[in-house]
Amino acid sequence: MTSAYGDITRAGRRKLWLDAREEAAMPEDSDAYTRAGRRKLDMDLATIPGISQPDGDVLVLDDALWERVVVATRGLAAQCFQCGVCTAICPWGQVKSEPVLIRRLVREAQMGAPGWPEAVWLCTTCGRCEALCPRGVDIPEVILALRGLAWRDREEPQGFPTLLWNVYWDGNPYGRPPSQRSDWMKGLDLPDFSGDQEVLLYAGCTASYDPRIQKIARAVVQVLRAAGVEFGVLKDREPCCGDAVRNAGHADYADDIAAEGSKLFRELGVRTVVTVSPHCLDQFLHHFDMPPEFRALHYTQYLRELIASGRLRVEGELPLKVTFHDPCYLGRQNGDYDSPREVLASIPGVELLEMRHNREEALCCGGGGGRMWLETAANERFASVRVAEARETGAEIIGSACPHCVSCLEDSIPGDASIRVADVAEILAWALAKPARVEAGVAS
Amino acid sequence: MSDSVLVVGGGIAGVQAALDLAESGARVVLVEASPAIGGKMAGLDKNFPTLDCSICIEAPKLSEVSEHPNIEILSPAEVVGFEGEPGDFRVRIRHKSRFVEDDCTRCNLCVEACPVVLPNEFDVAMASRKAIYTPFPQAVPGAYIIDLEHCLNDPPNYLPCGRCMEACLPKVIDFMQPRERVVERTVGSAIVATGFDLIDPALLRGFGYGAHPDVLTSMEFERLLTSAGPTGGEIVKPSNGQHPESILFVLCVGSRDVRFYRHCSRFCCMYSVKQAFQARDHGVGDVTVLYMDMRAYGKGFDAFYQRTRDEGARFIRGRPASVEPAGDRISVRYEDTDAGRVQTAEVDMVVLATAARPPAGLEGLAGVMGFDIDTDGFVKSRERMGGLSATTRSGVYAAGCAIGLKDIPDSVAEAGAAAAWALTHLDERTWPEPEAGEPQDDIETVRIGVNICHCGSNIAGVVDIESVVEAARQMEGVVYADSSMFSCAGTTQAEIARRLREARANRIVIAACSPKTHEATFRRVMLKAGLNPYLLEMANLRNQDSWVHKQTKEEATQKAIDMVRMSVEKARRLAPLEISHQPMVQQALVIGGGIAGMSAAANLAAQGYETHLVERTHRLGGTLNDLDEIAPAGIPAREFVEVKARELQEAGVAVHLGAEIETIGGHIGNFTARLTDGAEIRAGAVVLAMGARPYEPVEFGYGDDPRVVTNLDIERGHPVRGERVTFIGCVGSRRNGSGCSRYCCESMIGQALRLREQGKQVRVLYRDIRTFSRNAEELYDEAGRKGVQFFRIDPDSAPEASVSWDGHAVQFLDHLSDRTLQAPTDTLVLTVGLTPQDEDISAQLKVAHSEDGFLLERHPKLGPAEAGSPGIFLAGTVQAPKDVRETVAQALAAAAKAGHLLAQDTIEKEPITSRLIEDKCIVCGICVQACPFGAIELIGKVKEGEMKFIEAACQGCGACAAACNYDAIEMPYFTKEQILAQIDAALAREPEKKTIVFACNWCSYAGADQAGVEKIQYPPSALIIRTMCSARVEEDFIMHAFKKGAGAVLVTGCRLTPTGSDCHYNFANAQTDKRFKLWHRKLTREGLDPDRLQLAWISASEGKEFARKIAEMDEVLRRQGHLVEEKV
């Protein structure tokens, strides 16, 4: 790092001062060499034309810092021309009294990213800003890159180091024993993935350990069985996909995880993997190094195929008003808005109601970008806004297709509300079961 | 052998190209896909920054095109085949039937009868039309057209309707016409001018379009502003018909946006500024504009932007993230990026400046005609050929937006350029005789027709037309008076001619708009009616009455009656005048050997005229010799100069290097220049291409500090020291009345990118990034991606005020982070603007300057390459700063204009030159002194000899007539008798409350027109009498006015200052000045209140000054009134 005033060394400054003094015809017997005199002269120096002294408010641009940002963001941060759309659309603006200044964050990055404002860690990588950016800047990627720089500067927030160590030691971000990874499938008698089955069902860490989300994984199993799909699971061998690590900003470690995961998938001969979470899907699609014939699908995408080919048919009527909340990692990040809707539409009796902001404009639940592992004040949760929007539709159920979304939304349902949250797989499972059980399911 | 050119597209570019070609004797086949020519310009309300009424200035061109015998319009039609070689192309055109024959009278009965209601394309579906319709009142060619797709009669008569046929009295509707026919033409070359389309608003849901009825596109808003539009010029909310109290304008909707179009649409910033101005003018209280960079790049644009801000429109740097309905209103969320604050605004209306995109069908046309389309979807150009006019197929050129988006003057210039190229492939010219009606007999008995124009609601909205018509009917000599919605519309013109013949009227008064814009149009009407064109007089009700007295409708109506009476009285005294023909020296003189002069000279010589190019240095190429690469295309500058030099040589231009113009004088058709090397050159046309001077900075220690260089120093090969380079934009531009220098942003970014690619740290300090030129926005994008850092400094002050430099670092406030930054810098690059060249050639030729010091063009929109004085043309940066492409385009436009002047061996001379009445003349010789052009000679001795008037030299100023004490000189069309009659008519009613204003044709009358255009309100007490020059005003006029009780008299003329004169007649206004002082002394000695007789110099651009002066005179009148009352 070079100092901004690298070329005005102490000696240089003294020379400049001497030159200036000559010009000013200062008497020889001046008090230049007394302590007080020097202080006074330093002050005088600042007023001499040609010498300006950066005061506390002046930021000196540092080329090395800037190049570091250019490299880390692959030039993306440089491309932004500062229109401010990102700041204005950022969902934090709807819950915080002061909006999160994404544009300013990128601007600071454009000047070398001095300091590490809280905003870097607030981003949920929902991608709402990216969708509107006129320069097409992948803003979430810029922010993750900045997080990466922050890790290098040891400027990470509380919570994220634990997350990393949890993955490191236990293979999941929750710090739960690897031996309990297959607890969710108790009693289901699922086959080990042998490489011969049609698909590998990948539950992921959250569905494996979170008791609420375990139900979703079980519902997926129920549906796949109803369609007669031949599948296997990896049980305790199932690796973490790396999404939490990557979204915490530690791309290097996430890359290692992806490399190991890819190796395992290749060894096992995985051709089609079906995930419970769109976050895992995102890792498999974009960060796993797999042969071209490898397919990664979210379970809603796979079900859509099953419905289209006639393998899955729902006959039981389920009279239910459902509004669908698009998960960011299925929708904006991977461009699929239709699969979950088509699955819901295939259920006789289900009435699909759209929220004010849907599809590309959908509001994030607040759980992405590693936010699941950080504290969010109760009055600053996106999910509360989202639940209110859902209630406006008159729906009985908020359907979603992501473990994080289901958790966040469910946590934000007010006690007096009659609306409930359910995963698409769960809704489908109700429809496949007896009508009497459906009633009970809704009521429970 | 070919004498024809194919022009595809009938917007302003196609229309201008067709006219330029036809005037040069080429035959033109003009193919337009829609039912009428006029393009987008016809649908606009006003043009920026002049606020000219768009259709008013375009309609005369449209009727010229439709009447020109050399132009064949095929519309609606499309090109379906194009084969052959330059000089001999065979074109096949599919021409669709209109089903209405040309004898249609536009009575509108068919429209009333038609049961089919459809959205009206011209009003962008904000109003309706029928299945038989005329697109807009001034539409040409033809009249009505049947939209067969929606007509109930077809297909095939499943609902036999025929109501229109039954309603039509002249029976001109013919369903039996074949639906289409394919016609074949042979042409020597072709011009593609298919314009642009606007982005499909259905894509703009993210901007709220379609979600709320009060979210409009800019074109929809433009139609709301238009007095002939669906709301009669009222801004109302489509949702409920109420006036909005707040409007938010959003710029760059679909432009500069990777999701839609990467390019900058170039004209949206300025039309949005204009719309914001108009919204304020319409009384909308809260007007906000959201912009990203304010691209006010043209002449007068920055000043207009500032004026709009002064009028109370707020400009905020930001971009909406969401536009959503909020009850009846619209909620818009954006970040104010200068303040760093997120705003949620609730407004009544949102206007989206929608992206312009390549026109639909351009690709198909490219396939048929065999030229290439570039990656951005516009026509690909062979830029090394010069400018953007040449397509990849030789013999096929392009103009206007089809080859890259541009505003009207740039399209007009490029149309001229394309025409100049197209002409080089022709080897035959056609000169048809003007079409004249059967001459009317009995001109002696005065029979006057009066036609009063509503001009939509422009006049009729203020003036009670019926009262004026009624009053006109009572005036002496008037045989009929009637009114029209648009007197200038093609069919109305025919109607006026018919009415004249029918009533056997032999003189006409058109009470409409300014003779400066429309006299030529109505003179053609006179010819058609079989009348001498000089039996026409216009009353300028629009610019000088209704537009400037909006609040006082009754007084405006009274004033209109006074103005019509003045015109009728003058008309009673009009006599037929014959145009004379003066010899034309068919040679061209181009002054300045830069890229503009070289381009113009090469083209003129290629057109076949002996052409002289004079360059004062010893080297051709001008500023380009100092450049390395030309941004954004990255063409090596030297190579470009070499190509041009070769062209010059091949065309046979006589190049005079190292020679300066010592003296230059003369007039259209016959200029003479003497060079410092002794050579004398005669020319019929002069092209001024002296260029502009790069600003020589004194800021940032340039010259003393070796670390500070200019962008031109770098181009010249000055080494860039060190690794850290900081560019500062706008040095010497955009301050003290000087505008944007246009070329610099793209050039600066090009340099910054090159240095960045060499591995340097490059920073750019800018006020606004104005990369509006084709592919320049893409260059800006690339520079950012590659790591050039951009910092926004104070947009409202010159960089020397907001950036400090201490020899090692620059310090400034970055408006995007609101932080004071210091950028360590090894080399500081000042990107300098262009300043006017100081020279005396324009002074010798009496070419006026605009406020910024560059030469003044004839019309900022439609005459960018011509000077105000005939026969003189402006090429390149001598007119205003521009980049290389624009310079070349304008130079070629100047060449095209000069070319059609030189194409004929004589020029028509207006019959307004002075005439000697010999029996009154005593041969005193005083007129010889008065004449500014040496056009009067005294042969022999005073009182004995003979006076000789040289018509060719006379310019018609009338200084001689005013000087003559014996009334022995007559000025036709401005005779003493006529002017006295105008004074009498003006003072017929309440003379003490009137100011008689004498205004000269070139400056002060145009200034009065400008006040109208800008809608600057002033009291209705002034009545204007137009003369060619203020020097025409004689003592008798003044005395007569006061004798008749005039409250005040104001003499006005072109600016006269101690250092120069804008006078078009060689300082004739100095005579006015001298005479005026005499009269003033004489009258005040006799007891006249000195304030009642005043003199004011007002230039053509000073509408505000004119209005101020009239208000001042009105004060004088009021004071007089009080004095009278006190006496009583």
User: Chain A to chain B, count of Cβ pairs less than 8 Å apart?
Assistant: 136
Concatenated DSSP letters of A169-224: HHSSTT---GGGTTGGGTTT-PPBP-S-SSEEEE-HHHHHH-HHHHHHHHHHHHHH
Separation in Å, CA B655 to CA A324, B592, B644, B672, B872: 77, 10, 13, 17, 19
Q: Per residue in B452-486, pLDDT tens?
A: 999 878 899 999 999 999 999 999 999 999 999 88
- The shortest C-alpha distance from A147 to chain B (Å) reads 20
Do the Cβ atoms of A85 and B820 come within 8 Å? no
Do the Cβ atoms of A110 and B256 come within 8 Å? no
Chain B residue whose CA is closest to A89: B321
Looking at the complex, does the CB of residue B292 fall below 8 Å from at least one CB of chain A?
yes
Q: What pLDDT is recorded for position B385? A: 67
B149 burial type by CB count under 10 A (0-12 exposed, 13-18 middle, 19+ buried): exposed
Interface test with B, best of A48, A61, A100 (most B CBs within 10 A): A61
Q: Per residue in B610-622, pLDDT tens?
A: 999 999 999 999 9
Separation in Å, CA B491 to CA B64, B142, B1094: 13, 9, 44
Q: What pLDDT is recorded for position B388? A: 76
Spans in chain A with pLDDT lower than 70: 1-56, 113-114, 434-444
Q: What pLDDT is recorded for position A193? A: 96
Instruction: Look at residue B156 and tell me whether its pLDDT is greater than 60.
Output: no
Do the Cβ atoms of A57 and B819 come within 8 Å? yes
Interface test with B, best of A83, A95, A96 (most B CBs within 10 A): A83
Q: What pLDDT is recorded for position B330? A: 97
How many angstroms separate the CA atoms of A100 and B255, rounded? Answer: 27
Cα B225 from chain centre: 20
The amino acid present at A72, given as its one-letter code, is A
Residue pair B1065/B1031 in contact (Cβ under 8 Å)? The answer is yes
Do the Cβ atoms of A88 and B804 come within 8 Å? no
Residue pair A422/A397 in contact (Cβ under 8 Å)? The answer is yes
Provide CB contacts within 8 A for B28, sequence distance 6+.
B4, B5, B6, B7, B18, B21, B22, B68, B70, B71, B72
**β B88-96/B180-187 pair status:** antiparallel
Listed residue (B1096, B1090, B961, B925) closest to B1035, CA to CA: B961
Tokens of A132: 């509107």
Do the Cβ atoms of A134 and B256 come within 8 Å? yes
Looking at the complex, does the CB of residue B339 fall below 8 Å from at least one CB of chain A?
no
Q: For residue B603, count other CB atoms closer than 10 A to its CB.
A: 33
Q: Residue range B1017-1034: average pLDDT?
A: 96
Q: Residue range B383-406: average pLDDT?
A: 89
Q: Per residue in B1029-1049, pLDDT tens?
A: 999 999 999 999 999 999 999
Do the Cβ atoms of A63 and B761 come within 8 Å? yes
Q: What pLDDT is recorded for position A434? A: 52
- The shortest C-alpha distance from B826 to chain A (Å) reads 11
Q: Residue range B505-514: average pLDDT?
A: 94
Q: Residue range B390-403: average pLDDT?
A: 95
Q: Per residue in B918-931, pLDDT tens?
A: 999 999 999 999 99
Top-confidence residue, B444 or A207? A207
Q: Per residue in B774-831, pLDDT tens?
A: 999 999 999 998 999 999 999 999 999 999 999 999 999 999 998 999 999 999 999 9
Chain B residue whose CA is closest to A361: B206
Do the Cβ atoms of B322 and A89 come within 8 Å? yes
The sign of the torsion formed by the CA atoms of B563, B568, B569, B573 equals positive
- The shortest C-alpha distance from A162 to chain B (Å) reads 34
Q: For residue A55, count other CB atoms closer than 10 A to its CB.
A: 8
Q: What pLDDT is recorded for position B141? A: 85
Tokens of B85: 């070689």
Concatenated DSSP letters of A371-423: GGGS---GGG-HHHHHHHHHHHTT-SEEEES-HHHHHHHHHT--TT---EEEE
- The shortest C-alpha distance from B821 to chain A (Å) reads 5
What's the pLDDT band for B582 if we cut at 50, 70, 90?
A: confident
Instruction: Look at residue B1060 and tell me whether its pLDDT is greater than 70.
Output: no
**Which of A7, A50, A58 is opposite residue B820, by nearest beta carbon?**
A58
Q: What pLDDT is recorded for position B433? A: 76
How many angstroms separate the CA atoms of B991 and B986, rounded? Answer: 8
Q: What pLDDT is recorded for position B580? A: 86
How many angstroms separate the CA atoms of A247 and A167, rounded? Answer: 13
Average pLDDT of chain B, as a whole number: 91
Q: Give me the percent of chain B exceeding a pLDDT of 90.
A: 73
**Which of B257, B789, B792 is opposite residue A66, by nearest beta carbon?**
B789
Q: List phi, psi (to 5°) of B110.
A: -60, -40
